[in-house]
Amino acid sequence: MIKEITILPGLDKAGMRESFSEITLTAGETVSIVGPTGSGKTAFITDIELLAQEDTATKRRVLINGLIPDNEVRCNPCLKPIAMITQNTKCFADLSTEEFLQIHARARGIKDTKVIEDTIDLANKFTGEKIVRTSKVTVLSGGQTRSLLVADAILIGASPIILLDEIENAGIFKQEVVKIIQNTGKIIVFVTHDPVIALLTQKRIIMQNGAVRKVIFRSNQEVKAANNLLELDKKVGIIRERLRAGKKITKELVSVSFA
Amino acid sequence: MKLLIIAGPPSSGKTSLVKQIVKKMRGEMKIAFFKIDVVKAFEDVELHKDFGILTRKYCSGDLCPDHAGVMVLGDAVEWAASNQAELFIVESAGLCLRCSPYLNQGLGIIVLSSIAGIHAPEKMGAMVTLADIAIVTKIDLVSQAEREVLVQKIKETHSSVILMETNALQGTSLHRLYDLIRNSGDIDAANLVLKGNPPLGTCTICVGKKEIGWKHHFGVIQKLDGQTAEYLYRGE
């Protein structure tokens, strides 16, 4: 059972020790990692994914339930409590979508073969053009690949900790993704530049120059702002989908305003 | 002297891995490095320049480099030992994938790139199945799911191999490897034999023989120091 993970400070890009004493993320918590490009956001979640023990570039350490995870947990996907969606939009494996998921399900020790179909169905909720189970993963588009990997992380990775690196960048239905992974009892970490996602999370970790600069807890006012932004984002989403479908923008959508 | 034999296809990250090992271990033990290649090799110059360790190379020319490696390995072990090396690292050329240059002692490491292709572990045969440790490199280039799919394929090819994933340029997550090296025993140079059949299966003189070094040799390969042994078989 994962109750919490703890991140212990490492070094920033100049080799200076980070200023926090420890950051603890507990089950059910949603967190966003924000900061300029190159500030160390991806490195931060990669440390969590690798369960770093001062053996990554940042020299951070990550504990599970307060303890150092053992080697087997770090190296065996079957035992790994973490699923990560990287920014990769490409798969190199010369396999069909179905085969890819079958092998990954084996790697994660899942016996029930229904998970394959469920994963493809879920991926198809996130993407515009449907993924067919017999398509090679190498020919999927960037958005399809990311949709598949998000669905894979939720259903096959099925881990108590989910790390998502800039899901907004893939042209997939962000709202759907966020809806499904909220309130799951998991620790969910978003690396994001998207204000909606950043405001939807309970905690924001601000990065600068390779280090955590501060941790901000969402205020009540920000919850309201998040809800407003969510409404606006839905409208923007409708416009986006209309444009994608080759339709014209109607009168009511022209009058969209900040709520 | 501890022995590390590193194999893997070209551009899989063998040399990057060696650099991380040398960087980490050079303060703890004296290291010698030996590279076997075909036409040209630069690793010896690079590693000597970067870390000041003892290095040497052997180019096999027209001959299969892994086959040449089997022959000169005896000399190379002697060279490293005579220079008081405490850790001897051998990097293979890693070309035809039929080879498994690992010996019955020391550690054999297969280095595989995350983007090498999903069937690579199976295709590579003995190079994977006879290794003690498999290290998957370039993990920053692929998704976690794809990494796990490749790891699963390696496990299905060789279930007892010790698996590690790394970004060899940064040397991430290699603590376990360093511990394995520290805890590996010293070799007994008089009793080194190949774990698997020699790489070249076309020569009726050498096929099936696992001994390394010159005293078992009947071919036409030059010795490491350039001299051709007098007892070499040259045909009639």
Report percent pLDDT > 90 for chain B: 55
Tell me which DSSP letter residue A105 carries: H
- What is the enclosing helix (H) or strand (E) of A63? strand A61-64
How far apart (Å, rounded) are the C-alpha atoms in residues B227 and A237?
75
The answer to whether the CB atoms of B117 and A93 lie below 8 A apart is yes
The answer to whether the CB atoms of B140 and A95 lie below 8 A apart is no
Q: Give pLDDT, residue A71.
A: 84
Q: How many residues does chain A have?
A: 259
Higher pLDDT, B117 or A103: A103
For the cut 60, the answer to whether the pLDDT of residue B230 exceeds it is no
Strand partners of residue A161: A82, A187
B interface test, pick of A78, A104, A163 with most B CB neighbours within 10 Å: A104
Q: Which of residues 14-53 of A touch B (CB under 8 A)?
A: 46, 49-50, 52-53
Residue with tokens 């996907």, as numbered in its chain: A77
How far apart (Å, rounded) are the C-alpha atoms in residues B193 and A78?
36
Q: How many residues does chain B have?
A: 236
To the nearest whole Å, the CA of B105 is away from the closest chain A CA by 24
Per-residue pLDDT of chain A (259 residues; tens, 9 = 90+): 789 999 999 999 999 999 999 999 999 999 999 999 999 999 999 999 999 999 999 999 999 999 999 888 887 777 889 988 888 778 888 999 999 999 999 999 999 999 999 999 999 988 878 999 999 999 999 889 988 998 998 899 888 999 998 887 766 666 777 777 777 788 999 999 988 889 888 999 999 999 999 999 999 999 888 888 888 888 888 888 888 889 988 776 666 555 4
The radius of gyration of chain B from alpha carbons, rounded to an integer in Å, stands at: 17
Establish if B175 touches chain A: CB-CB under 8 angstroms: yes
Tell me which DSSP letter residue B103 carries: B
Q: Return the C-alpha torsion angle A41, A45, A50, A51, nearest 10.
A: 120
Least CB–CB distance from B143: residue in A74, A149, A156:
A149
Q: Chain A: residue nearest B173 by CA?
A: A55
The answer to whether the CB atoms of B145 and A104 lie below 8 A apart is yes
Establish if A11 touches chain B: CB-CB under 8 angstroms: no
State the total domains in chain B: 1
> For domain A1-81+160-218, which CATH number applies: 3.10.20.440, 3.40.50.300, 3.40.5.50, 3.10.560.10?
3.40.50.300
B-chain CB neighbours of A55 within 8 Å are 171-175
| Residue B193, CA distances (Å) to A13, B103, B106, B107, B186 in order | 47, 6, 11, 13, 15
A-chain CB neighbours of B150 within 8 Å are 93
To the nearest whole Å, the CA of B151 is away from the closest chain A CA by 8
Task: Look at A87-96, B155-164, B181-190 and tell me which has the smallest mean pLDDT.
Answer: A87-96
How far apart (Å, rounded) are the C-alpha atoms in residues B147 and A107?
10
Determine, yes or no, domain membership for B197: yes
Q: Enter the ipTM.
A: 0.83
Whether residue B89 contacts residue B53, with contact meaning beta carbons closer than 8 Å, is answered with no
How far apart (Å, rounded) are the C-alpha atoms in residues B105 and A168?
51
Determine, yes or no, domain membership for B43: yes
How far apart (Å, rounded) are the C-alpha atoms in residues B96 and B124?
9
The answer to whether the CB atoms of B144 and A93 lie below 8 A apart is no
How far apart (Å, rounded) are the C-alpha atoms in residues B59 and B187?
25
Look at strands B107-113 and B133-137 and give their pairing. parallel
To the nearest whole Å, the CA of B190 is away from the closest chain A CA by 34
Mean pLDDT taken over chain B: 86
Least CB–CB distance from A55: residue in B114, B118, B172:
B172
Strand partners of residue B136: B112, B165
Determine, yes or no, domain membership for B234: no
Determine, yes or no, domain membership for B112: yes
For the cut 90, the answer to whether the pLDDT of residue B31 exceeds it is yes
Task: Give the domain CATH number at B61.
Answer: 3.40.50.300
Q: Where are the domains of chain A?
A: 1-81+160-218, 87-158, 222-259
The answer to whether the CB atoms of B150 and A55 lie below 8 A apart is no
Alpha carbons within 13 A on the beta-carbon side of B96: 13
- Full residue range of the structural domain in which residue B21 is found: 2-216
